[in-house]
Amino acid sequence: MTQVNYAAMTDQELKRYILAHRDDQQAFYIYMDRRHSRPDKVVIKFDDPNWEAKVLAAIQEKLDQNI
């Protein structure tokens, strides 16, 4: 059996792999470890006057990561 290189996969590739190989628990745990190791989500307070700029910056950062 061929050894799968999970580290070489992007998050999207790993997610697709997990969906295609639902019995591969190691892949699932690696994916979840990646997800939990990321910094917390952007928190915007309702009374923040710059909320819109922060939301747009967070969206742009996410788009840049997926390129």
pLDDT at 59 over 60: yes
DSSP string covering 29-67? HHHHHHHHHSPPPP---TT-TTHHHHHHHHHHHHHHHT-
pTM: 0.58
Q: Which residue has the higher pLDDT, 5 or 66?
A: 5
* Whole-number pLDDT of residue 1: 56
Domain boundaries, given as residue ranges, for the chain: 6-65
**How do residues 1-56 score in pLDDT, each as one tens digit?**
578 999 999 989 999 999 999 999 999 999 999 988 877 676 778 888 998 998 89
